[in-house]
Amino acid sequence: MLDSNLNNLRAQIEPTLVALEAERLRQVNTCKTTAFWCAGLAIIVALVVGGIGNGANIFMIVPLIFACIVYAALASGANNKYSGSFKQMVTPQLVKNFGDLSYSANSGMSEAAFNRANLHQNPDRYKSEDLIEGTIGATRVQMSEVHAEDERKHTDSKGHTTTTYTTIFRGLFVIADFNKNFNGTTYILPEGLSGSLGGFGRGIQSLGGTISGRGALVQLEDPNFERAFMVYSSDQTEARYILSSSFMSRLMNLKAHFNSNVSAAFISGSLYLMIPKRENWFEPPNLNMPLTFASVETTLRQLQMATGIVEELDLNTRIWSKQ
């Protein structure tokens, strides 16, 4: 972001930050008061319990544990309240600086869209939040943070069943209007181990494409791109039309930019992009940190990275028949 834009943004959100700082201090005080009362009451009850039991005993620890639980619940409530206010008052203003965009903290990309992308298996548990949607230049975009998990049940020798969840995908999920017309489907996935197995590996990859319904393996001319990605498509020519040499290099840059195994699908005129990242996207600064313009830098950086995808992939160039 340019310095002049940054200064404008600072001037624009400064009053909101001041108001929210007062709210943060109130929540911090609530936490401190809660801590004081919880600790005080726990000590008194523990002493009473010690007196009844004629000296120190193991039961004295019970009120302390109980006090910790009560404190954690109340502090978490205060943190959520602050976080909710930040997302309601600050994030929408930050988002508007990157395009004609709106922000909704409690909405997200739908599970149906995640499944339609066909870049991962369908999840058993799906969560998404922080939806940003609107247009950046000529490109319509939708994006949110997504956490998709697979359920696994284990039964031990005694017949007890435990359920665990493993992450299929966690990160940023983006759908953007693509700037070229196409009819088929094309998928770009990170290159796996099979890529190093030569012809045998290609055979495995081809089989994988058929089983997953992604289509035939497309072998492209760019060796760097081929080392980083495998491409499947229902139409060999169309895949090459989408993946021009400049677009391949842009995708490589995007992968480097996010330092992540980016995957993409081109379906019904749209680009579905999944960027795995463990970090928590678009979250407010810690409750204990004084709220200044500098403390929203992480959110700002994340927004810049996420909305920068449009420019990175040159999606606003509309020189083809699709406008």
Partner 1 sequence: MSPLTIFCGLLVLLLIILIGLYNGLITRRNAAQNAFASLDANLQKRFDLIPNLVATVKGYMTHERDTLEALTKLREQGNRVRNEGASAQLIGQIMARAEAYPDLKASANFLHLQRALTEIEEQISASRRAFNATVTNYNNAIETFPGSLLASSFGFTKRDFYAAESEARAAPQIQI
Determine, following the binding rule CB under 8 A, whether residue 237 of this chain makes contact with partner 1. Answer: yes
With a CB cutoff of 8 Å and minimum separation 6, the contacts of 54 are none
Q: Out of 22, 58, 193, 319, point to the residue binding partner 1 (CB under 8 A).
A: 319
Residue 194 Cβ, how far from partner 1 at the closest point, in Å?
18
Residue 240 Cβ, how far from partner 1 at the closest point, in Å?
4
Both tokens of 83, joined, read 């976080």
Residue 214 Cβ, how far from partner 1 at the closest point, in Å?
17
Burial letters for 97-128: b for 16+ Cβ neighbours within 10 Å, e otherwise? bbbebebbbeebbbbebbeebbbbeebeebeb
Q: Out of 8, 57, 121, 244, point to the residue binding partner 1 (CB under 8 A).
A: 244
Look at the alpha carbons of 163, 169, 175, 181 in this order and tell me if their dihedral is positive or negative. Answer: negative
Residue 244 Cβ, how far from partner 1 at the closest point, in Å?
6
Q: Compare residues 39 and 220 and give the one whose CB is closer to partner 1.
A: 220
Determine, following the binding rule CB under 8 A, whether residue 183 of this chain makes contact with partner 1. Answer: no
Report the site for partner 1 in 152-181 (rule: CB under 8 A).
Answer: 180-181
Both tokens of 54, joined, read 């004629």
Distance CA 201, CA 91 (A): 46
Determine, following the binding rule CB under 8 A, whether residue 298 of this chain makes contact with partner 1. Answer: no
Determine, following the binding rule CB under 8 A, whether residue 219 of this chain makes contact with partner 1. Answer: yes
Residue 231 Cβ, how far from partner 1 at the closest point, in Å?
11
Amino acid at 22: A
- Is there a contact between 267 and 188 (Cβ–Cβ < 8 Å)? no
Determine, following the binding rule CB under 8 A, whether residue 236 of this chain makes contact with partner 1. Answer: yes
User: To which residue do tokens 């978490």 refer?
Assistant: 76
Q: Compare residues 129 and 238 and give the one whose CB is closer to partner 1.
A: 238
Cβ neighbour number for residue 52 with a 10 Å cutoff: 10
Determine, following the binding rule CB under 8 A, whether residue 221 of this chain makes contact with partner 1. Answer: yes
Q: How far is CA 200 from CA 204, 209, 230, 268, in A?
A: 6, 14, 15, 32
Q: Is residue 292 packed enough to be buried (19+ CB in 10 Å), middle (13-18) or exposed (0-12)?
A: middle
Residue 164 Cβ, how far from partner 1 at the closest point, in Å?
44
Single out the segment in contact with partner 1 by CB under 8 A; choices: 88-96, 234-242, 257-265, 300-308. Answer: 234-242
Determine, following the binding rule CB under 8 A, whether residue 316 of this chain makes contact with partner 1. Answer: no
Determine, following the binding rule CB under 8 A, whether residue 250 of this chain makes contact with partner 1. Answer: no
Q: Compare residues 55 and 199 and give the one whose CB is closer to partner 1.
A: 199
Phi, psi of 108 (to 5 degrees): -160, 180
Report the site for partner 1 in 34-63 (rule: CB under 8 A).
Answer: none
Q: Compare residues 239 and 303 and give the one whose CB is closer to partner 1.
A: 239
Residue 104 Cβ, how far from partner 1 at the closest point, in Å?
35
Cβ neighbour number for residue 44 with a 10 Å cutoff: 11
Give the binding site for partner 1 (CB under 8 A). 180-181, 219-221, 236-241, 244, 319-321, 323
